């Protein structure tokens, strides 16, 4: 039976996902069989797993750091927001319900059993399981029925390292204040603390570090400076997608939809030296110099289509295509580009139908069966093979499907407009394939020699080196039990 250690944050976005990924790689380099685990994640950026389910994309990256294929046991509860107050609940890779936030508390107690079941299976096959919390244990108003932080730590007897984010300021209050509000039995689970995202000379924080140790009685495991190559790893938040600023190159603009999903399609493009990728936020007009506009996936397609129209992007996009610009819709974005989206059973919101953007001569009907699979495909225009995955509901048909974007096992997939300027596809992850991405970019006159997956692997090694230099990694791993 393997040991376990849990990384919790004194707040959201303290860098838990990256710390777990770096520790996973450091543990693997020590010869340990290590696996990541997150009891509950909230994200629309999902990965398809080897056992045919879905988990948060961050756990897929952590699995890569461990040298493992993603598995549903690594993230047994995934919440996929569909509205401001409701989310789809995915348990061990399969959708079980859509609930309002205020009703989720009643569901949580029933989820601890599958969470512990998945955790137990990982412990049986590994020397070490590194667990990532969610949000912060300081949210004691959510403690009843908790499966994400101290509720899980107590149930699994997993020691906790509390991480504070000094970049936001107030890190002393973050950590000392967390101890002050925790139940004493919960606080007893904390084996120590670490500080993350320091900029400048860490010695300037020596007095603050000692103050935290003195006030809490917890052991400090070090201060990790800001990791400058973090942008080279797949982003957990779409608005974190940002490579180095560039003044020239192929201009790709992606619409930052309110329920954007599976935006890992964009990570490789953000790193291309010959590409300028912009995430267009709400309230901003589409730049007139855009070469390509990407309409990305969405967890609530009709709602996001209304959001798109509210920004005036439907008018901008039509003008862009009229000027000779090109557009690519991925998954939900593909559905939006068509003439109509019908959801007769209310699978993604109120039942009904919505006129599409009309840039592709296709129509979509939402269906209850969800497609979750890895695929091998061939891009029709370039003949380039690639691997990707599908994760969607809905069936799309129409005249433009006679000009497919790709072929999967010989069958047509996606659609292309008669003038070739607009294309749509249900396939995600295609741009991770170096050969396909180079062939596709060549069609825009942009060269590519980026080895994306190799770069991610090298960055995980650099992250592990970074943590080894600044944190007591041996002490952290020894704290596991």
Residues catalogued as catalytic: 331, 428
Q: How far apart are CA 398 and CA 416, in angstroms?
A: 11
Q: Is 217 exposed, middle or buried (0-12, 13-18, 19+ CB in 10 A)?
A: exposed
CB 361 within 8 A of CB 320: no
Diameter of the chain measured on Cα atoms: 71
Q: What is the DSSP string of 318-374?
A: HHHHHTT-EEEEETHHHHHHSSEEEETT-SSSSSEEEE---SSS-EEE--SPPEEEE
Residue labelled with tokens 């973050």: 174
| Full strand arrangement of the beta sheet holding 275-280 | 275-280, 250-255, 292-295, 326-330, 422-425, 415-416
Distance, C-alpha 8 to centroid of its chain: 18
Per DSSP (E only), the strands in 380-437 are: 385-392, 395-397, 406-408, 411-413, 415-416, 422-425
Helix (H, G, I), strand (E, B) or coil at 23: helix
Q: How far apart are CA 101 and CA 353, in angstroms?
A: 25
For the record, the structure tokens of 3 come out as 């040991």
């Amino acid at each position: 039976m393997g040991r376990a250690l849990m990384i919790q944050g004194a707040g959201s976005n303290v860098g838990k996902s990256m710390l777990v990924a770096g520790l996973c790689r450091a543990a693997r380099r020590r010869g340990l069989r290590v696996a990541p685990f997150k009891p509950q994640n909230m994200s629309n950026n999902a990965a398809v797993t080897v056992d045919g389910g879905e988990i948060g994309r961050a756990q897929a990256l952590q699995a890569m750091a461990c040298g493992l294929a993603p598995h549903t046991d690594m993230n047994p509860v995934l919440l996929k927001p569909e509205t401001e107050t409701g989310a789809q609940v995915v348990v061990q890779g399969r959708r079980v319900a859509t609930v309002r936030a205020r009703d989720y508390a009643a569901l949580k107690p029933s989820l601890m059993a599958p969470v512990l079941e998945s955790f137990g299976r990982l412990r049986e096959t590994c020397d070490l399981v590194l667990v990532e919390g969610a949000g912060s244990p300081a949210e004691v108003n959510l403690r009843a029925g908790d499966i994400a932080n101290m509720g899980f730590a107590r149930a699994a007897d997993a020691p906790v390292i509390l991480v504070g984010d000094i970049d936001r300021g107030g890190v002393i209050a973050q950590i000392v204040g967390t101890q002050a509000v925790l139940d004493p039995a919960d606080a007893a689970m904390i084996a120590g603390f670490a500080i993350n995202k320091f900029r400048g000379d860490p010695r300037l924080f020596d007095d603050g570090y000692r103050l935290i140790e003195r006030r809490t009685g917890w052991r400090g495991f070090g201060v990790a400076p800001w990791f400058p190559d973090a942008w080279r790893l797949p982003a957990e938040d779409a608005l974190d997608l940002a490579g180095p600023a560039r003044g020239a190159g192929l201009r790709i603009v992606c619409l930052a939809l309110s329920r954007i999903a599976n935006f890992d399609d964009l990570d490789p493009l953000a790193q291309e030296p010959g590409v300028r990728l912009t995430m267009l936020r709400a309230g901003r007009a589409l730049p007139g110099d855009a070469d390509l506009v990407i309409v990305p996936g969405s967890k609530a397609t009709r709602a996001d289509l209304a959001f798109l129209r509210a920004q005036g992007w439907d008018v901008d996009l039509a003008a862009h295509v009229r000027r000779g610009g090109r557009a690519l819709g991925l998954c939900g974005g593909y559905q939006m580009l068509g003439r109509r989206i019908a959801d007769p059973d209310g699978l993604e919101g109120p039942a009904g139908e919505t006129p599409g953007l009309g840039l592709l001569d296709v129509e979509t009907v939402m269906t209850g069966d969800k497609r979750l699979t890895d695929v091998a495909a061939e891009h029709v225009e370039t003949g380039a093979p690639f691997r990707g995955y599908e994760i969607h509901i809905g069936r799309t048909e129409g005249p433009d499907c006679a000009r497919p974007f790709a072929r999967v096992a010989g069958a047509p997939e996606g659609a292309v407009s008669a003038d070739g300027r607009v294309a749509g596809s249900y396939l995600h992850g295609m741009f991770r394939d170096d050969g396909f991405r180079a062939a596709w970019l060549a069609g825009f006159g942009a060269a590519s020699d980026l080895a994306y997956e190799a770069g991610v692997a090298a960055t995980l090694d650099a992250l592990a080196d970074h943590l080894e230099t600044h944190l007591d990694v041996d002490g952290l791993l020894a704290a596991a039990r």
